[in-house]
Amino acid sequence: MAIDADLLNEDCAAISGWTDADVDTAVSEVDPAGQFRFDTNTGAAGNAYAYRRRDIASPPNQFTVEIKTYFDTIGATTDTDHAAFYYTTATWFFYVEFGSDGLLVLKTGAGKTEVGADIVKHGGAAAWQTWRFEVDKSGGEAAATVEVFLDNVSQGVVDCDYEG
């Protein structure tokens, strides 16, 4: 699938164009310049998570999202102590969670599918990882799927058909 960099090609120079939805002690910011920094502050007692959101009113039926991550520390998605990004329309959500227990994609019925098995590097094993999400909703939002690539290797195709 072709990447449509004209839709959004974020240089990470400013984060102000993204809606901040951080909870508790979590922080999302530009630091250093050219990188978004998401910190869940896992030492906090509460459920902290770093969220940024950006709405694009009319995304194409097929599009690609690519993100490079490095997690010094991150908690479990089950504890709501994770990093996430989501991409929405008025009726559909593409929602991804990164946690110590894996990479999860939201699907219909508010269920989540783990991609791979505990493939998010963090803590002592932390390393830069490049994620590419090739979304296909050409069959409609109710049939949307995403092929997930980690460092250019396909991790499989999962449903991303959450409508809400």
Predicted confidence (pLDDT) per residue in 81-128, tens digit: 777 787 878 888 899 999 899 999 999 887 899 998 889 999 899 999
Q: Is the pLDDT of residue 148 over 90?
A: yes
pLDDT of residue 113: 93
Q: Quick one: residue 45, left, alpha or beta (phi over 0 = left, psi -120 to 50 = alpha)?
A: alpha
Which among 65, 33, 26, 19 has a CA at the least distance from the CA of 49? Answer: 26
Between CA 114 and CA 135 the distance in angstroms is 16
Who wins on pLDDT, 146 or 109? 146
pLDDT of residue 2: 46
Residue 122 DSSP code: B
Q: Which of 34-38, 106-110, 155-159 has the lowest mean pLDDT?
A: 34-38
Tell me the one-letter amino acid at 73: T
